[in-house]
Amino acid sequence: MFELLKDAALFIALSILGWKALSAVKCPAPEILGSMLFVIIGNILGLNITLHPFLNLAVTIWIGMAVGLQFDVRMNPKLIKEVALVCSWLIITGLLVGRLLMLMGVNADTALFSSLPGALVEMSFISVSFNADSFMVTLFHASRMVTLLVVMPIIIRAMPPDSRPQPKQPEKPQKTHQSKFDWPVVIIISAVSGILLDRLQVPAGALLGPLVCTAIYVRVRKTQMRFAGSCRGVVDSLVGGVVGTRVTRDSLFALPGIVMPLVTLNVLMILSSLLLGYVLYRISSLSRVTAQLASVPGGLSPFIVLAGSMGADVSRVAVFHLCRYLTMIVFSIIQGLILSNLG
């Protein structure tokens, strides 16, 4: 029992320390990248960091609950056609790029999970749940996020001025309500559904149960619930730590071999984003900068903040990115279930 507690304490301490260390140097996505790096270094130094199944289950349930809470987004009816275009485009692009990565020698599971332009933390953990190479998946998604965050603002600023006016009227705020019982109910249904599906050996059941139950709850209740920033940061850092424990010597030795796939992924994602942004601009009333930023499959929070600094319509950019985020999570889970059955 003492050894289990010691291992858990070491794992949590290194994960949080890695998050704080990379936050101090302003590294993108420090929660997952910092914790992953520190756990990998710890194992290289011989600390033999392992993850107790109970802690892994708890983190999985927590992530499922956090994702499910995002399903409170209310769609503006005027944007349905454009949002459907963006989500469909990115799914097709992801599948085509995944196929290309497979032809370049990347393992099928890793290629398909790496090429879907979803959120870094969630996509990394979904790959863990379906036993893909989560270390490689994390590297692909981190490189995509950083590349797009650096390159796309430069390209967008270099575009000619846009004469199309920005919409003046803000989006109507969502009417929501919340009671003191919402959090206890969400935690209980997440824990029960996650443990139950895990015991029944449903693929990714500990993730799917809380996600579905929480999503249904917030939709029925019409409520908005979010974790505090520090709380979500701790959980995200544990996800990075989970990925770090799965890194093997073979994974590290394989790093030089993924340079060309990484470059290919990033170049194709940039070109695809530019083309999608142009199409979205032509078929909608969105300004050029709003259309381009809504089309970039980068980090959810960074690009919403970037939209404000570049004069885009922040509320509409946020809707596009939230819908992309949710669509990619659902599609990646479906993809994982299909790959599990084929395997």
Decide if 324 is inside a domain: yes
Decide if 130 is inside a domain: yes
Decide if 211 is inside a domain: yes
Question: How far is it, in rounded angstroms, from Cα 128 to Cα 252?
Answer: 17
Count of domains observed in the chain? 1
Range of the domain at 302: 2-160+178-342
Decide if 113 is inside a domain: yes
pLDDT over threshold 90, residue 213: yes
Work out the percent of the chain whose per-residue pLDDT is above 70.
90
Lowest mean pLDDT of 163-167, 328-332, 335-339, name the range. Answer: 163-167
Decide if 209 is inside a domain: yes
pLDDT tens-place string over residues 111-120:
989 998 877 7
pLDDT tens-place string over residues 18-34:
999 998 998 877 887 88
Decide if 311 is inside a domain: yes
pLDDT over threshold 50, residue 41: yes
Decide if 244 is inside a domain: yes
Query: How confident is the model over 272-292, as a mean pLDDT?
Result: 91
